[in-house]
A and B are shown apart, each in its own frame.
Chain A
Amino acid sequence: MEWVETTGKTVHDAKETALDALGVDTDDAEFELINDARTGLFGRVKEEARVRARVRPTTPRAKDDHRRRRRGGKGRGGQGEGGQRTSNGKNRGGQKAKNGGESKGSSRGAKPKQGNDGEKNTDKGKQKSVSDEPTMSIEEQADIAEAFVADLAKNFGTTVTCDRDQVADDEIRVTVSGENIGRMIGQRGMTAGAIDELVRTVLQRHAGSGRGGRIRVDMGGVRARRAEALAAFVREQAASVRDSGVARALEPMDGADRKVVHDTISDEAGVDTASEGEDPNRRVIIVPAGDAD
């Protein structure tokens, strides 16, 4: 995974900028403090805080973790050579526990959802559990996400279908469509955003530490359309910033939208991005290149 390095007036600011750049939540990121901000006389910033951040390859979990996700997970700093002997033993146990864990996973929910999950995704799901991957694969995560959304829709009294696209090596986009899906989108996509947040939370619970990659749930494809429209708008704004040399602040957006802005601007010559404010009022500012604070 790639590291990004950011600076800010405080460590907090620097972290927020890093999160924007990565397009993830605090929970999914890993930070290293490079140096703290130093203030000079009268609180003037002498040196900015600098942090390094990346998308967390595995998310350590306090609870429940040993259940199934501890088997030699990569990217766990603490588990070095010294732990080899014991970790071997653990490994075998862990692997056995995996199959058990699968059914345990089903029983714990004791909801129709799980059965549904099994039925619907038999082919994909089975394939994946044969190959012993150290982390929960992104396909498995997508299975969980789809099952959750399908059952949620059922509880809404409607039926949906899910299509998935592998948009990047570590990102799957699940596009949900169906009749009456409007209610699950809401005004300005508010409900869709909330559902995406819940999917993330559910995945966190199911996959625990073994979570890599990203699942994006797009209700009715609105997010894809919105991202396109947003990118077009941002390019227009970028052109005007480039021409006028005057920075322009965009309206506050959520992390996913800010990522679209950052990504779009990074392909544009002569402009850069900066961010300010805190969620939910965090916004991106398009600045002329070289002016970035």
Chain B
Amino acid sequence: MSADAASRVCEFVVKQIVDNPDGVSVAQSETDGGIRLDVSVADGDMGRVIGKRGRVASAIRTVVRAAGVDNDLTAIEVEFVD
């Protein structure tokens, strides 16, 4: 459930930020003790998602973790893939 919340929040936030929301996809996979979200965006939107000095990217990570982390799920990784 909370993994879904993390993934949902992640997709929502990224789509709000990019120029091309249709180009956004979030792939979820299991890691030991948690999940990993691989986010890919359309060409040219990567800079927007990462932001100056990675500020936006780290804000996304913080918010996604807050959405997903609970007793069962302790580790959520968010990676932005080219």
Contacts and interface: CB of A to CB of B under 8 A. Distances in A.
B42 interface: no
A151 interface: yes
Contacts of B58: 194
Nearest to A182: B66
Interface stretch (A42-50, A51-59, A105-113, A257-265): A105-113
B59 A184 contact: no
Contacts of B16: 109, 111, 113, 148, 198, 202, 205
B62 A201 contact: no
Main SS at interface, chain A: helix
A207 B63 CA distance: 23
A183 B62 contact: no
Nearest to A64: B19
Interface string B4-20: 01001100110111110
A91 interface: no
Interface residues of B, number: 27
A27 interface: yes
A99 interface: no
A111 B14 CA distance: 12
Contacts of A205: 16-19, 48
A109 B59 CA distance: 21
B60 interface: yes
6 contacts: A63-B44, A64-B19, A109-B15, A157-B5, A195-B59, A205-B18
Interface of A: 25-27, 63-64, 108-111, 113, 148, 151-152, 155-157, 183-184, 186, 190-191, 193-195, 197-198, 201-202, 205, 279
Given A198-B56, A201-B17, 11 more contacts: A26-B52, A27-B52, A64-B19, A109-B21, A111-B15, A113-B12, A155-B8, A155-B9, A155-B67, A193-B62, A195-B59
